[in-house]
Structure 1
């Protein structure tokens, strides 16, 4: 936390943090433009002209952030000092509190070919209803002695795997190879309690493969991000902010809940998220986090045009978000997901901050290359919250 607690006021303007997941990109090998540069964004262009611009380095240079660490950095924490996995965030986002003695992991239903190799890490992205059906089937068919395993169905191929029992540890590697054409990795634990978790998870996966053997596509399971729940200060404790999250996907609701945000109804699209934002501002929330997933989904698919379209869709919805009347608006990403890489990368993400206290630089566009020349410069992720608090007139002066 880079902001001394004694400087934080209990009054000031309202703040909106809009995170376009995986926003940052790299030049297309043919056209030479990034996805953000190629997108037609009249609303963002107009806002950029009256805003401060810069970039955020979410983790130390060269280190690629996962979604959880990326968001925790934006929220003012040093992710390198926090030990938790994605399973915790998925559980919290599914309204499961994850108590002491419980371990959670993020699950993917996947496709495994006759050679035992992963052919599709997302099993063709099944419907939410299909995901619920498969989760129910596995819970009915599989039990392990001495522990209880719950599955919390998520969206498409995603679910949360929760194990409850004695002497369990979370220091377990992922079995997800992260690429196709390879076998799922063997699970191993560091220390006796984590090795117990690894052995139990291995047995559960073996039985799941047996149950799913007749499924057409989703015939395998990948687990990653094993985690227990750490003690993390809340937004109210750190910043005197009544905060809320407007996120459609459970994982992002989870990371917001970890820092004490209320999970607000996000609906199913940007229009409904904008309506929720307006209600939240009217209800007196000081800080609202709004998450847009589609940019990252397209990035992971390696689909340049789809990522451009996802950016343009957000751009078209931007006026409805601005109508909520926030005093400070920040737009950025939690990491870069260039379609040329089809995975997260270490590159800094663009940052736009709008308030009545900005210092715009003429001619600087809201793009990866344009933001290099903005007045904010390149800041660490943990430095974003103090900057937003200052723009909202929520910080006292430091020193005499």
Structure 2
């Protein structure tokens, strides 16, 4: 349903927290949320509307882009945004209609086999050094300008700037990441006839980068992911009438929000530093999105204890968020990342909405099994923003 005609403005404040990859599966009988000692989250859940959301569709495992688009109310099946565009925007590259953007990993290659897709999660300082070296050595390929910018740890961004406008079909090239260690890297292959030129430039870039990196012990290879061109998409303010900003450490998540027209506030560090920023800017916005990444990182690493501790760390800082006297507070994830799978999964994601206008007292804790008992039930992720607007009294009555 298009709710744009029902939207009304007021002075309510909305805080929207994503604990990335928060959902899990049992290890020795307990999920990560069940194992965590988190008295503040559990107390908040008891006074909130809880449930589970499905990021895309039943049985479909979402990437981070579709997961975030869903919770922000943009149908990920309609707005399929490449991760490269999100990464580029997140690191501050101003994209043009002539660009193809990619999200890249430094990786370790031995005897033609990828032995580490993340090059041991090299320090960001090393990434800056290597990306600087690549930038110096590879400025142009066959008339296509090469723009590189480092991200966090093993990630960096590549933008290929062509002398002509690039359509989304021309950017449809396969990733070179094999998705698992112990396999050969894939080739960048065109998925459409129009994408042949982009695939050829990509292959040449890989060859030249490999030559530059050949003496590196860990980061001696690169993997290309998320080939994408700039899409057309309505802004968050156009859609909801909300002046919005984001607080996210990792570039891709800043990129998602920039694509939606949110202001992305620069931040370094982790949860503590993000909440300090939140307290400083809270008064200036209607809607503030705060993103916690490491819950997902530990899930992908299969580090159950690490994910549990990150949940507990967030719980320790939660009272500082509550002290801001929000009108609506949402805590959820963009997808589940169970440690037992070491990957994103299709499982429904715990969801909490706190406002003065919820039933509450239907759950005893913020966990997957408890949220299953909550008043929200299991809902599509795209329904969350309607509930947020309703609880902030920003939706008029429908019909007479």
TM-score range, shorter chain: over 0.9
For 1:204, the equivalent position in structure 2 comes to 205
* 2:135 alignment partner in structure 1: 139
Instruction: For 2:362 and 2:47, locate their aligned partners in 1 and report how far apart those are by CA, in whole Å.
Output: 9
Shift of 1:364: 3.4
Residue 275 (structure 1) aligns with:
276
CA distance in 1, matches of 2:383, 2:162: 39
Give 3-state SS (helix, strand or coil) of 1:79's partner: coil
Distance change >3 Å, CA 355–CA 149, structure 1 → 2: same
1:224: which partner in 2? 225
- Confirm or deny that 1:69 pairs with 2:70: no
Aligned-partner Cα distance in 2 for 1:353–1:100: 38
Task: Name the TM-score, length of structure 2 as normaliser.
Answer: 0.97
**Aligned ranges 1:46-195 → 2 under 5 Å:** 46-113=43-110, 115-142=111-138, 143-166=140-163, 168=166, 169-195=170-196
SS of 2:115's partner is strand
Cα distance between partner residues in 2 of 1:16 and 1:184 = 41
Q: Secondary structure of the residue that 1:214 maps to in structure 2?
A: coil
RMSD: 1.1
Moved more, 299-308 or 268-277: 268-277
Deviation at 1:240, TM superposition (A): 0.5
Q: Distance in 2 between matches of 1:203 and 1:16?
A: 45
Report the 3-state secondary structure (helix = DSSP H, G, I; strand = E; otherwise coil) of the residue aligned with 1:65: coil
Cα separation, 1, equivalents of 2:92 and 2:324 = 27
- Provide the C-alpha distance between the structure 1 equivalents of 2:330 and 2:235, rounded to a whole number of angstroms: 20
| Alpha-carbon displacement from aligned partner over 1:298-326 (angstroms, at most 9, x marks no partner) | 00100110110111111111111111221
Give distance in 2, aligned partners of 1:363 and 1:236. 33
Does the aligned pair in 1 maintain the 2:15–2:328 contact within 8 Å?
yes
Gaps of 5+ in 2: none
Task: Measure how far apart 1:180 and its partner are.
Answer: 0.2
User: By how many angstroms is 1:265 displaced?
Assistant: 3.2
Q: 1:279 to 1:374 in 2, by over 3 A?
A: same
CA distance in 1, matches of 2:270, 2:376: 31
Shift of 1:363: 4.2
SS at 2:77's partner residue? Answer: helix
TM-score (norm 1): 0.97
Alpha-carbon distance, 1:12 to partner: 4.3
Structure 1 CA distance, aligned partners of 2:282 and 2:241? Answer: 16
Q: Is the 8 Å Cα contact of residues 42 and 364 (structure 2) preserved in structure 1? A: no
Deviation at 1:195, TM superposition (A): 1.2
CA distance in 1, matches of 2:154, 2:363: 43
Distance 1:252 1:155 in 2: 12
How many pairs align?
395
- In structure 2, C-alpha distance between the alignment counterparts of 1:176 and 1:217, rounded to whole Å: 16
Deviates more, 1:266-275 or 1:307-316: 266-275
| Counterpart-to-counterpart distance in 1, 2:171 and 2:364 | 46
Deviation at 1:279, TM superposition (A): 2.0
Partner of 2:249, secondary structure, is coil
CA contact (8 A) 1:112 1:120 kept: yes
CA distance in 1 between counterparts of 2:114 and 2:22 reads: 28
Deviation at 1:46, TM superposition (A): 1.1
TM-superposed CA distance for 1:139, in Å, is 1.4
Matches within 5 A, 1:28-43: 28=27, 31-43=28-40
Residue pair 2:52, 2:371 contacting (<8 A) in 1 also: yes
SS for the counterpart of 1:81 is coil
Q: Deviations over 1:238-294 (max 9, x none)?
A: 1110000011111000001111110113331222211211222222x0000000001
The question of 1:361 aligning with 2:361 is answered: yes
Any conservation in 2 of the 1:364–1:374 contact (CA below 8 Å)?
no
The residue aligned with 2:301 is: 301
Q: Which moved more, 1:351-360 or 1:8-17?
A: 8-17
